[in-house]
Homo-oligomer: A and B are copies of this chain.
């Protein structure tokens, strides 16, 4: 019943997570009712923009270039690498303003039930980094879940002859995901990290 173009925008919004018909209509109307096309144009250009987003060749974080801003920052301590599951975990740690080393994004966790083994993750490049750069410590900050723990143990065994591997402390509530912890909890967890045997 709506014009085809409006119906198509409503369908685009409905493809977003947790957005139903009513919410999608509300979003579409809000753009339709904006006084000029500027709001729509900036939306379009921001959507085009993310098509050029790549993974940093060094750490796997999101970047517009080949190497991300964090890896290129000369002030950061290149001897400590903090391993996380997803790019949003990097943001969660950065928000603490506590950690000054570099990151490594695995893009997931080892999860046999979902058919994800170590070879599906960004682990080869981590091994390369530890061997080439003089990394003195790898901090594993995967989630406090069974999969996160499994991944941490796997990395500890893989890297134990090459560098010190530590795990952030169980300061964060067990079963929760890193992203949803508050800054203080994450900071406490960073301070209380333990070497994996």
Q: Which residues of A contact B (CB under 8 A)?
A: 1-6, 8-9, 11-12, 15-19, 23, 25-32, 37, 39-40, 42-53, 62-64, 68-70, 88, 90-91, 94
Contacts and interface: CB of A to CB of B under 8 A. Distances in A.
A62 B30 contact: no
Contacts of A51: 37, 40
Q: What copy number does this chain have within its complex?
A: 2
A40 B47 contact: yes
Contact of A17 (B11, B27, B63): B27
Nearest to A91: B1
A173 to B, nearest CB: 18
Given A1-B91, A1-B94, A39-B15, A47 B63 contact: no
A12 B43 contact: yes
